[in-house]
Structures are given as C-alpha cells and as structure tokens.
Chain A
Amino acid sequence: MKKLITKIEGEATLNIIGDEIIEWVDIEFHQFRGIENYLIDKHYMDALVINPRICGICGHSHLIATAQAIENAFGAIITNKAKLIRELTLNFEIIENHIKWFYITLFPTQIKDKKYLFKALQASQKISQAIALIAGQYPHNSYAIPGGITSDITYLELTKVKNIIYQLLEFKQELWSDFELFFTKIPKNIGKSNNRFLTKNLDISKIKEISNNPYQKVTYNGLYYETGPLSRMKEYIKEIYQKYQDSIYSRIYARVYEIFYLLNKNLEIISKIDLSENSYIKPNITSNKGYSIIEAPRGVLIHEIEILNEKIKYYNIIVPTQFNLSTGSKDNPSAAQQALLNENKKYLDTIFKCFDICAVCIGH
C-alpha cells in the first residue's frame, strides 16, 4: 500500500508491503529542484546566496559547507576567530532544528497539543536571534564567505548571545520531562536499524552515489550507514546506547542530549573567541576542485565544487537524508528501511520521523 508522509519539510510516499507488520518498504520523494544544475556557470560567490536556499531549516549548514568547499579549492586559510564564530552559529542551527523537530514534527505523532508548538517557538525565536546577532538575519544569511566571515562583531553581541544561551539552558528540565512523557506513549525498543554509523570523519573516496531518479542514493563502502545526532553523540550517551542500541529511544535521546551538549559547547567557544583577529583574509582565487564535509543537523553534509575562471564548472551536494533514507535492497537496506522492517504499522509515522527527514534537502 502507498502511504503519504507529510510534515517532513515536504513529503514522501512510502510503498509498504505487509498487513499489520511491515515486511518491506520503499521510500519515494517527489520535489526536485535541480540546484546543482542551476549553479553551473554562476560565479562561485553566488553559491553563497543560492545554497542556503536549498533549505529553510538547515540552510545555514549549506552556507558553511559552501564556504568551506570553496576555501578547500583555493587552499585558503581563515582566522581562528572566523572558524570559531562559524562553529557557534552552525551549532545554533543544529540546536534550533532539534527543538523544532522534537515538538513540531515528532511530538504530534503521539501527542497532539498546541502548547508544545509554542514551547518550541519560544525557544527557536531566541536561537534565531542569537544567530542573527552575528550573521545579520536568520533564516537565510550569507555571512560566511571564502576567507572568513563578513561580520565584525563586538562584545556587545557576544554578551547578548551568551545570555540567550543561559535562558535556553533553563529549559533543560522541561525538555527532558517532555521526552519522558513522549516515551509513555510508545515502546522504547522499536526502530532498531543497521547499527552502522557515519560522522564527518570519513574517507570521501569510499562514498558512492547511485542514481535513483530524481535523487541519488548514497553508500559508504557499498553499505548504507546512519548519520546524525546518534552517530555524533553515542560516545557521550554510552549507557543509553548500550541498553537500547540504535532504537528509536537512543535516536531521540541523542537529539535531546545534543541540544544541551551544544549549548554548553557554545559557551566554551565564546570564551575562546579573540575579537582582535581579523574576520576575513582575502583568498587567492584559482581554478581548482574542492570539497567540504560538515555535520549538519541531520548528519553528514558533503559539498563538492569545481571552479574554472571564477565560474562554477561542477557542483555536487550530498545531504544527510540521502544517507539515512536511501532506498536500498532486501539484502542491503538503508538505515530508515531497516528501522521500519518487522515493526508494527501503527508506529510507522513515529519511527520514520525519528530520523528527522528533510524532504526539501533531498530534493535539491
């Protein structure tokens, strides 16, 4: 049977085989925009404006990935200040994404109450403000450029950003209570997957893209891997992971954990920023190839660029949703497929959404 899943930054169609228990599932996405093609022959700087508009909730990650890919092509260096400030805003986007996903996408699969939406928005408005203090606006800024950042911030801005973090940390108890509440509605041990994880510390030569019209499936060493908060956080939540492996419980726990992990990380980063350094170092422009691998909210994000005479000759983007939501085969299922196999259909929506899917990203 076909089931349309919505509210995943777009939609997907699942082709399910099985009556009560899912015996097999294929995943189909519809919206495709052809951004990689759109970029060809554009000036490389234009990519910094175009790429954030791949996605309204993780566009900042695309911005950072673009700037880094171009820097890689030029062999350009940036100051430590620019590096830390970029990490700061990138972390904020991850935090905002997780809070929104938790309350707006995941919660309603089991608990429907408007008050949770407003809880999420209260927090996310503050985080957007923190990013805007540094990058000008959120969503859709282009403050990270090859060579560094355009902003020249002062301690006035950093003081405000720090205080936003303190306010958000006060939210910790409430969020964990809501997490516990969510798991009174569904079992914890469902949605176990391939138990194979990928972070940005990977060997790019082992990545393979396979056409699955209109988008690409992605394997690593020929197999499908899971990427995202669980891959990143499992070292820090060892007990949970040992008890529940890569079930839905661990997957969601990791995301909630990552929120406060990154908030604290950001406080650390702020203390290390040396404002006396330059924001920007003009790079030497050359014709060359480059790439970047970063951790976006949903997992590993890869950008590859080839620049010829300041124009984009080639651009390739691999988004985390491609890793997690590929349509594999019966003997080589993707992370999401494996998680759904042999589970009761009534948990379909929740298990599917615990991978935090971005349909607009996969439709780039």
Chain B
Amino acid sequence: MPLKPKVIWIDAIGCNGCSHSFFNLPYLSTLLEKIELLYHPLLDSNEFKIQECDILIVEGAIKNTKKFDSNLIDIIESLFINAKKVIGLGSCASFGGMFGEGLIFNKENYGKFYTCKNKVINLPGCPIHPEWLGYTLEMLIENKPIILDDENRPKEIYSFVSHSGCVRNEYFDWKVDAEDFGTKEGCLFYLQGCQGPFTHSTCNKILWNDVNSKPRAGTPCFGCTERNFPKINLFKTDTMMGIPSKIPLGVTKRAYLTLAGIAKSLTNERLEKRLFEYEKTNNKN
C-alpha cells in the first residue's frame, strides 16, 4: 500500500446509510488526510471515471441496472479488477441485504466476485459502525495484517457479539424477560426477538454514537451483521414448543436449557421490579 492510498468509494444499490454513519467518525478529518479520495457519491470530489485505485469501497448491493451512463455491474467489475483491495461496506455489499447481491457472498450462495475473495474485506452491518471502516482503512494504510473470519469479516470486530456489554445482561442471566416494550428493565431475548447473543458485532462494546445501542434503548438487536439479515418477523423470537430456536453461541442446547431452567426457577428480587418510579404528575402543560 503506498503512503497515501488512492481510494474510490462507489455507491451501488443501497440507501447511503453507511456513508452517513461513516460521517459520524470522530477522527474523520485526520483519516481523510491520509488517503486520496478519488470519488465519493456524496462528498465533493472529481468526476467519476473508471481508473486504478489502491482501495475500492463498494457501498450497496449489486444489481443489473443503469448507473451513470453505463451498467452498474460493468462499472463494479472494472473497478474491482483495477483495485488492489476491496471493501464490501455494509450488509448490502457483503451479503446482498435487502436490495440485491453481495460482492462475494449472497444469502444462500456465492457472489459474482467470489473467485477473487482474497482481496475482499467484508464489513457487514446495516449500517456499519463508523469505527469499523476507520479501523479497516487505518490498518490497510499502515500495512498491518487484518485477521479475517470465514466470511471475510475482521475478527477484531466480528468476534464479539452484540450481547456483550448490554445493560440488560443481568436480566438475561436471571431470565427476567421484558413483558412488553418501553421499559429499561427486562431482557429482550425471549419475547421481543433480540438476536444479540448470536450476532457478531461490537454494538455494546463500542457504543453507537459513543453513547448508546438499540437494546439499551429497548429495541431488540436485528442481527444486521449476519448473512441472513433481514430475517422474517424481526420483533419475534422463533421458538419451537416454547424453546428458542437459536441460542447463544458456543453453548449446547442441553446446557443452555439447563441453565435457563435453573435461572427461571430462582428469583433475583432486585430485578423482578422496576429500578425506580417517577411520581405521576397531574399537571400536563
């Protein structure tokens, strides 16, 4: 990788959410000084042209459709061939997401560029967390090796699960389920469809926008970094005869059910009631 790598950021079929999320990177201005951004779909840059680059960032899914005065797939292919490294930014480019195909993987099978997967780094997420791209670019700029898993995702990010660090972990441990939406108390795993325990991400490790995460705000994790995102019935936990069909990673069903059964049989008094209550006020202005 040269000292100031040439980067082309191209938008395929998506929503630009990954770009807007990346704009929230606190050290963005410093990072942009370290690269030569030849093209970006939103930031002011030179006119687009097919050219060589060191890092190609693809945001959005691949689909046979018009782009600029040409065809999207042809454009991506030309850029791909002429790039040293390719980043599949977001779930659309990594796995297809909702709008098309991914670069090297689709939901069920391989993507168009699978045979060249060795030059691709996938950063799934809908959207990505800005630090995931910040980290990847810095590592590439400094020629540091990035350890990848078998879906080409950096292990330094995707070895964690979004369950790690959730403020509702105590409720998960003691099997105190949130009966409904809208409370800071209660675990969202059993009744609200939270996919935290088996979704690879850092949402509760590095918080979103430095301050929060969906489960902390009462919204279940939708598993957006995984290949099958989005699944059907995102707010419901799939159960088979009342037993969750997906359980935390690394645990056998027998072990999980035994622990869950024991936790369910015992009570943690502190967690069974609300942490505190506001006094109901009568004057509503």
Q: Give, as a whole number of angstroms, the nearest-CB distance from B49 to chain A.
A: 12
Contact A125 B230 (CB under 8 A): no
Chain A, 109-157, CB within 8 A of any chain B CB: 112, 114, 117-118, 121, 124-125, 128-129, 131-143, 145, 147-152, 154
A274 at the interface (CB under 8 A from B): yes
Which one of B22-30, B152-160, B240-248 is at the interface?
B22-30
- For B16, list chain A residues within 8 Å (CB): 9-10, 55-57, 360
- Number of chain B residues whose Cβ lies closer than 8 Å to a Cβ of chain A: 63
Q: Give, as a whole number of angstroms, the nearest-CB distance from B194 to chain A.
A: 11
A284 at the interface (CB under 8 A from B): no
Contact B211 A132 (CB under 8 A): yes
Q: Give, as a whole number of angstroms, the nearest-CB distance from A118 to chain B.
A: 5
Contact A57 B233 (CB under 8 A): no
- Number of chain A residues whose Cβ lies closer than 8 Å to a Cβ of chain B: 70
Residue of B28, B42, B182, B208 touching A104 (CB-CB under 8 A): B42
- For B34, list chain A residues within 8 Å (CB): none
- For B13, list chain A residues within 8 Å (CB): 31, 33
B218 at the interface (CB under 8 A from A): yes
Contact A53 B65 (CB under 8 A): no
With A128-B209, A275-B278, A276-B280 as known contacts, state yes or no: A45 contacts B181, CB within 8 Å. Answer: no
Contact A56 B20 (CB under 8 A): yes
Query: In the complex, A125→B15 CA distance in Å?
Result: 19
B269 at the interface (CB under 8 A from A): no
Best-surrounded residue of A33, A108, A112, A150 (most CB of chain B within 10 A) = A150
Contact B181 A280 (CB under 8 A): yes
- For A108, list chain B residues within 8 Å (CB): 44
Q: Give, as a whole number of angstroms, the nearest-CB distance from A274 to chain B.
A: 6
Chain A residues within CB distance 8 Å of chain B: 4, 6-7, 9-11, 30-33, 35, 38, 42-43, 45-46, 48-50, 53-57, 59, 80, 100, 104-105, 108, 112, 114, 117-118, 121, 124-125, 128-129, 131-143, 145, 147-152, 154, 160, 272, 274-276, 278-280, 282, 360
Chain B residues within CB distance 8 Å of chain A: 11, 13-21, 23-24, 26, 28-29, 32, 41-44, 48, 65-69, 98-99, 126-127, 180-185, 203, 208-219, 222, 230, 232-236, 277-281, 284-285
Q: What are 26 A-B contacts defined by CB distance under 8 Å?
A: A4-B68, A31-B67, A33-B13, A46-B230, A46-B232, A46-B235, A48-B235, A53-B15, A56-B16, A56-B20, A57-B20, A104-B43, A108-B44, A117-B43, A117-B44, A128-B24, A128-B209, A129-B209, A134-B217, A137-B217, A139-B20, A139-B127, A151-B219, A276-B277, A276-B279, A276-B280
